[in-house]
Each structure stands twice: as structure tokens, then as C-alpha cells.
Amino acid sequence: MSMLQRFLAHRLPGLVLCLAGILAPGVRADVVYPPDAGIINVRQSPYHAKGDGLTDDTEALQQAIWENGMTNRIIYLPEGVYRISDTLRWPAAPGSPLQGRTILQGQGRGKTVLRIFDYSPGFSDSGKSRPMLATGVGTRFLRNAVRDLTLDTGIGNPGASGLQLVAHHQGGLRNVDIVAGGDGSGGVGLDLSPGEDLGPLLVKNVRIQGFGTGIRTGNPAYSVTLEDIQLTGQKSEGIRNGAQVVTIHRLRSTNSVPAVQNTDESGFVTLVDAVLQGLPTKRGGPAVFNRGFLFMREVAAPGYSNLLQNWSSRLPPVRGLVVDEYHSHGMVNIFPSPPITMRLPVAEAPETPWDPLSDWASPAQFGGRGGDSEDDSEAIQKAIDSGATTVFLPNGTWNVRHPVEIRGKVRRIVGTEAVLNLVAAPGQCGFRIGQESAPTLWFEQIEVTGGRVAFLRSVADRTVVIRDCSGISVDWRGKGTLFLENVSSDHPWVVDKGLSLWARQWFERFGGDKIVNQGGTVWILGLTTERPGTLLATLEGGRSEILGGLCESSGTWKSMPMFRIQDGSGSFVMAEFSQQSTPYQTIVEEKRGDRSRRLPNTGPIGGDPLPARTGGIALTLFSGYSGEGSVAPKGTVPTVADPVKTSP
């Protein structure tokens, strides 16, 4: 059996289910909120959108977006077909720190459908592409999001694109279908290129059918994380990246054109677990074009003539249609290490339960008043102790002066994009997880402010999922499993022995040592950091793996290492960006036993210099581990470049 046959025998059954819409981890079937959640229902007064598939709802929807944008309020579209005849645009307030914070929420993809009227004059010119939704062009569009709906360009609209999305700090796209109706023509399904500060953001569980380009990214600052993406029927390419840092996990592309094009020398693409199915075509070609930086792991391209074509003659080739692991610019190490990533197990976050509304409770039912200056701790605690399984915070600001205990039947706290203001005394916390809590807990749609204390403290062996939240900090004092998904933080993190952490799209802005792994397990898909300080320190037998991300290292001079390993194990795929040309001088400081070595940004002594990128460097792989797992799995494609010489 060939390598390709072995790969497909293992991967294809899951792929078939995924393409059939049966396998979609984390996809909610029916999203509904209590009437007192503080959301904006576009079918109700004063907007009165119809959603009947016949009425032009453009004016009603646009009014709802303009009047409730930049407020952290959910603009909710119940089940229905909403016809539009013009682009729906997010509000803009140049110079305002509140720019963004506009959330469009459907009841479910396939249930809530936005569709352009057939043969709409505004979308008839194929030479002037216009999006159905446009969230802005510029900077600082914080926390914009679109979730749980379908965008359909209708018939006879060759000038229509799907979504032009700009989100910064935390936000993105979740559980969305974008369909080019009719013959599949149109510009771009998902355009992630218009904003200078686009990202970090997460695009998850998204299916795009048709268009010239499925997904387009472009800017060198910040990063984009894509997970569980299905692309079919594109006319030019599936994904086209310019200078952006793009991390992709579980891409399923079915196309006769290239699945991925990385067109700029600064572009950095991490592609993990992908099946790129090529369809018959008169002119065969590769599945992936690359001019910049490229890391691939477990990628197959059946149906294409070859997997990869490098536009730069300096980059090593790939022969065949399957690669277990590939690094365009080779592997770097400072101690003897395997030429591949650690391949830590990748765990999936448990699917979010959406309990019947009869099982939801709110602190407003117990005297709490979101929006005033009073303490809401007691009201939130009473909601938790009410017997409900879901506690929701109606949109507004809720003040917590005393720790709230998670206990009883509660398994989910959903903020409906509310603000949780932590004003507890130093040494306390916002929420505390004890031994009387449910075995798995979910926290969603919360913006945390205050910052003097931890948002969450755990003293129990529990599984916790934190999703679509900002300002998060955790004080974990027990064993357990923690999932972060589309989360931003301004606080340091410590991962002790007994804790396993899996993160997708994590934005860490703390100035100082950002993440310290003291004997635990850390796996990150798409890490973005700002401000000086060591990104990740791995100590005391800890294991850490980063697959894709960006270190935004502008600002003051940095003498501390970007990464530190001391009697631990780590492998990192990472890009750097420094507008002021003040990059990290030391990339990795590694200590094994009584020996300590450093990797300067000029490269190891006696080895090749590290590749430069936008004022910093690029690591298509740093390997810093030994012992178990040091032998590459059978069939692994080794790095083409010879390993660099280690420094003394």
C-alpha cells in the first residue's frame, strides 16, 4: 500500500462524513435566547424584518446594524430567508476605541439565510465586486463577529462577494455557509484582507461554495486562524494569502484549481491535517503554490499532479501527493533534536450544550441590574443555585465584588456579549470552580474588565471550555483540562503539572512572561502576542507545541528570549513582526541538565542565518526535545535542508 493509500484509508472516512455535513464538531443546531437576554431581534419593533424570502429586508437590517453596532449587543436574525438588494455595512466611528463590537447572530446555518435578490443591479458587474456584508476597512475593529447563518449571493449576481470581515483583538466567523448561487461565479467568498490590523481572529466550521477565491488574506500584521474549513468549486484558488500569518487546521478542499496560494515572500502559512482533493482538469497542477514561508503536516492532495510548487528556487521541493511534515526553510535546533514537531495529541473541545430555555436563569431574576454600579455577585450566585443548567448574563455590565461559586447543576455560563467587571479584592477571583461543580463547564460570549483578579479559579479536576471571550485570566490550582477558543488575555498564565491546555486562536497581550508551563501540557493553534516578555517558558518536564502564530514585537528593545525551555520539551512554528525594528535578540534559550544554549536572531553558531520576515524572523520549525517521540513516524518526509550545527 502506498503512502497516499495509507493516508486516505485513515483520513477519508472522516472526510466523507464532514463533507456530508454529518461531522461538524462544535456546530450548534438551533441558537435561541431568552426574551430578556438583551439581544436585538430584527423581526421585532422597531425593525420588523420579515425573513419571508419575498420582502426586501435591506433597510430593516441596515437600520438594526447601524443603531446597535459598537455596543457589544447581539443583532439576532431568527430562522427565515432575509432578502437583500444592497451591501449591509457595519457602523464606523473613526478614532473611537469602541469601533467594532458588532455581532450578527443567526439561529443556525441553513435556518437563517441572507440571500441577494436574483439579478440585482447593484451586483451585476463582474468587474466590480461588492460584498453582501462589509464590516469595515481600517483598524481597531474589536470583537466583530458573524455566527450561525448562511450567506447566498442568489442567481445572476456575478459581481457579488460574500463577507468582507475585519475583526481585531478577538472575534471572527463561526458556523457559517457562504454560497455563490447560480453558476458559482462571484469575487471572494470570505475576504480577510481589507484591514491593516486584521486579526487575531478565528474562522471555524465554515463552508464556502463557488466564487473566484474562497478565502483571501493579505496583511503582515497579526494573524488569522482557520479550523474545520470546507472549500468547493472555486474558479481561481481555494485560499489566497498575501503577507498574512495564516494557520489552518483541517482544511477540506475539492477543486480543479490550487487549494492554497501563498503569494508574498512575507506570507506565512501553517497547514495541518488537510485533504486537498483535485478534480479532473485539462491542465494538471499543484495543490499548493508557495513563495513565502510554509509549514505542512499530514497533508494529502489526491487528484493533483503534485502537492507543492515553490515559486522561489531557494526553497526545497516536495515530491509526491502526501507529506507527513514539511518545513520550507528547514528545522532549527540548538541541542540534538528530532527534525519534526512533537506531535502532541490534539484534543477537541466538548460540544457546547444548548439547553432548553426553561433551564436558563439570569441574575436579573434575583435582583441583579446589569448597567448600574451595584454589586451583582449575590444575584449571580442565586441564579447559579436556582437549579438551572445554563446561567446567562443579559447584555450590559455586571459587577463582581465577591467570588461566585460554580456548583450544583450549572454547566454553562453565557454572557450574551455582556461585560463582567471584576472589582473583587486582590487575591480573590470572579468565579471559583470547586468539587461540587459539574464535570464539564462552558463559559462563552463574555468581555471581562477590571483585571485586578483572575476571572476563573479552579481547585478541582474539571474540564473547562472558554470560548469567544476577551480579558480572560485563570488561576488553576488543580488537575484538569482547559480549552481556549478565540480568547484574548491581558494577564500571565501558569500551567502546572496535571493541567492540559488546548488553545485555538489565543491573543496574549501581557507585558512580561506570558505563558509559563511548569510540568503541564500546552498545545496552541494560532498564538498571537504583543508587548515584551517571553512568549512561552516550558519548565520542569512540561511539554509545549505551537503550530502557527505571530509575535508582534514592536516597542522597546527585548533582551529576554522569545521562548525558554528548561528541562522541558517544545516545538514551535512561529513568525515575528516588528514595525520599529526592535525584534527579539534571543529567539530560544534552552537548558538541558547543566548545559545552557541560546539561539540568537542571527542564527546558531556555524549554521545558516534565520530567515528574515517584516523586521523579525520566521521559524518554520524550532525543535527542542529529545527522548520519547524523537523517532519520526513511519513515512515521515524529513526536512530537506540539512540540520544546522548546534552552538557550543
pLDDT, tens digit (0-9, with 9 covering 90-100), for 240-266 = 999 999 999 999 999 999 999 999 999
The answer for residues whose C-beta is within 8 angstroms of residue 267's C-beta and 6 or more apart is 241, 242, 243, 244, 245, 246, 291, 292, 293
> Does 562 score more than 60 pLDDT?
yes
The answer for residues whose C-beta is within 8 angstroms of residue 641's C-beta and 6 or more apart is 316, 327, 329, 330, 331, 608
Instruction: Take residue 473 and report the three cell numbers written for it.
Output: 485570566
Burial of 127 (0-12, 13-18, 19+ CB in 10 A): exposed
337 residue type, one letter? S
pLDDT, tens digit (0-9, with 9 covering 90-100), for 21-55 = 433 444 556 999 999 999 999 999 999 999 999 99
Q: Give the least confident one: 62-76, 309-323, 381-395, 622-636.
A: 622-636
* SS3 (DSSP) at 104: strand
**What is the rounded CA–CA span in Å between residue 294 and residue 104?**
33
> Does 137 score more than 70 pLDDT?
no
Q: Could you tell me the CA-to-CA distances from 63 to 57, 88, 89, 90, 476 in Å, in that order?
A: 10, 9, 10, 10, 44
Percent of the chain with pLDDT over 90: 76
**What is the rounded CA–CA span in Å between residue 233 and residue 252?**
12
The CATH number of 31-235 is: 2.160.20.10
pLDDT, tens digit (0-9, with 9 covering 90-100), for 493-512 = 999 999 999 999 999 999 99
Domain ranges of the chain: 31-235, 492-625
pLDDT at 4: 52
> What single string gives the DSSP state of each residue in 445-510?
EEEEE--SSEEEEE-S-EEEEEEEEBS--EEE-S-EEEEEEEEEESS-EEEETTEEEEEEEEEE--
Q: What is the maximal distance between C-alpha atoms in the chain?
A: 74
> Does 453 score more than 60 pLDDT?
yes
Q: What are phi and psi of 7, to 5 degrees?
A: -60, -50
The answer for residues whose C-beta is within 8 angstroms of residue 208's C-beta and 6 or more apart is 162, 177, 178, 179, 189, 190, 214, 215, 229, 230, 231, 232, 234
Instruction: Take residue 439 and report the three cell numbers written for it.
Output: 464535570
Instruction: Take residue 168 and report the three cell numbers written for it.
Output: 481585531
pLDDT at 223: 93
pLDDT at 168: 82
**What is the rounded CA–CA span in Å between residue 450 and residue 313?**
52
> Does 637 score more than 50 pLDDT?
no
pLDDT at 641: 29
pLDDT at 219: 86
112 residue type, one letter? T
pLDDT, tens digit (0-9, with 9 covering 90-100), for 566-616 = 999 999 999 999 987 789 999 999 999 999 999 999 988 777 889 999 999
> Does 636 score more than 70 pLDDT?
no
Q: What is the pLDDT of the chain when averaged over all its residues?
A: 89
